[in-house]
Chain A
Amino acid sequence: MSNLHAADPLILYGTSFPSRLLLGTARYPSPKVLESAVRAAEPAMLTVSLRRQAAGHNEIGGQAFWDLLGELKVPFLPNTAGCHSMDEVYTTAMMAREVFGTEWIKLELIGDDYTLQPDTLGLVSAADKLLREGFKVLPYCTEDLVVCRRLIDVGCEAVMPWAAPIGTGKGPTNPYALRLLRERVQVPILVDAGIGVPSHACQVMEWGCDGVLLNTAVAQARDPMALAGAFSAAITAGRAAYLGGAMAERESAEASTPVVGTPFWHLDGG
């Protein structure tokens, strides 16, 4: 852990995390690759999920996955992926709390199956209900300022706007809205979904976002361990740039070397 991490922890619901990277556990080629990527990324939390037992899916799951999670010793962030209604979200969250033994929940309420866009109309009441049940809710949302405000109004102590639709790797498709959101809300902003390369993660951190949640960009890389490390470094770099007060962009050139005393200048009498 670097000195920067120690001095500048990510704080969510009063809990301090040494890393600003949250990592998904899905879509890795094997459990061994997942384990290597987690060790390289040193994430604050690992997202996990619940699916039917013996449902015949090919995802990493069951006892072997459970044993691996135990060895990694990273806090769990269960999600409500695939939920389309408040009832589904609520029941999934309750089951997740029992299985994973944590109050953390990544609230996903899907409103459109093609884009996997969150159902922002139902999200606020779903968050409210879970917060009342004692969950620490991290809502997956869009970069819509008013939706984020309403989530904060009901008690969310962080928001997780997408950069782009889940799994696209497009990077921030609406930089203006994301930067405006940063200006207008005080709670931590964790950019969740749509990040493709480390420069995307670095960019949103430079804008003052507080963390990044990644999955596909690491899991589907040719070398997930390399990308895990690269993302971790990019997030640290972006955060340092934000804290350090990066220079303002200019339209015209301005010499960095002093002009005064330039030899041979004006020798022609001009």
Chain B
Amino acid sequence: MQITINQAPFELPEGATVEDALSRFGAKPPFAVALNLEFVHRQRYSETVLKAKDILEIVQPVAGG
């Protein structure tokens, strides 16, 4: 199935979790995650199952005003 991570398409197997997606993307800590605009607590990465067309956002600290 195809999902979108940070605006780019990624192919993942059926039943893949957020944790699998983070690994596939190569996310580097510190980061936080939103799935379809909803926050996913880091303790739920391994239990949150993805489905086709999901949109995952992985964000990191940056400078801000």
A→B interface (CB under 8 Å): 24-28, 34, 47-55, 57, 59-63, 65-66, 69, 78-79, 81, 87-88, 90-91, 94-96, 98-100, 166, 215-216
Asked if residues A99 and B63 are in contact (CB atoms below 8 Å), the reply is no
Residues of B18-53 whose CB lies within 8 A of A: 25, 27-28, 30-34, 37-39, 41-42
Task: Given contacts A48-B62, A51-B59, list 16 more A-B pairs with CB under 8 A.
Answer: A26-B63, A26-B65, A34-B63, A47-B65, A50-B60, A50-B64, A52-B6, A52-B7, A53-B25, A62-B28, A66-B60, A66-B61, A81-B64, A91-B34, A94-B32, A99-B60
Chain B residue numbers with a CB within 8 Å of A91 are 34, 37-39
Are the CB atoms of A62 and B60 closer together than 8 Å? Answer: yes
* A/B interface sample: 15 pairs, CB < 8 A: A48-B62, A52-B59, A53-B27, A55-B7, A60-B62, A62-B28, A62-B60, A65-B61, A65-B63, A81-B64, A88-B37, A94-B39, A95-B39, A98-B32, A99-B59
Distance of A167 from chain B, by nearest CB (Å): 8
Q: Which of chain A's residues have a CB closer than 8 A to the CB of B6?
A: 52-55
**Residues of chain A lying within 8 A (CB to CB) of residue B58:** 52-53
In the A-B complex, the 7 residue pairs with the smallest Cβ-Cβ separation, listed nearest first, are A49-B64, A24-B65, A61-B62, A95-B32, A215-B65, A94-B39, A25-B63
Q: Chain B residues in contact with chain A, CB under 8 A?
A: 6-7, 25, 27-28, 30-34, 37-39, 41-42, 57-65
State A230–B19 Cα separation when bound (angstroms).
Answer: 48
Q: Is the CB of B64 within 8 A of A53?
A: no
Kindly list chain B residues whose C-beta atoms are within 8 Å of the C-beta of A94. Answer: 32, 39
Q: Using Cβ atoms and an 8 Å threshold, which residues of chain B touch A166?
A: 65
Q: How far is the CA of A78 from the CA of B61 in the complex (A)?
A: 9
A24 to B64, CA, bound (A): 6
Name the B residues within 8 Å of A25 (CB-CB): 63-65
Can you name the residue of chain B whose Cβ is closest to the Cβ of A88?
B37
Measured between beta carbons, the chain A residues less than 8 angstroms from B25 are: 53
B-chain residues with CB within 8 Å of residue A34 when the two chains form the complex: 63
A36 smallest CB distance to B (angstroms) = 15
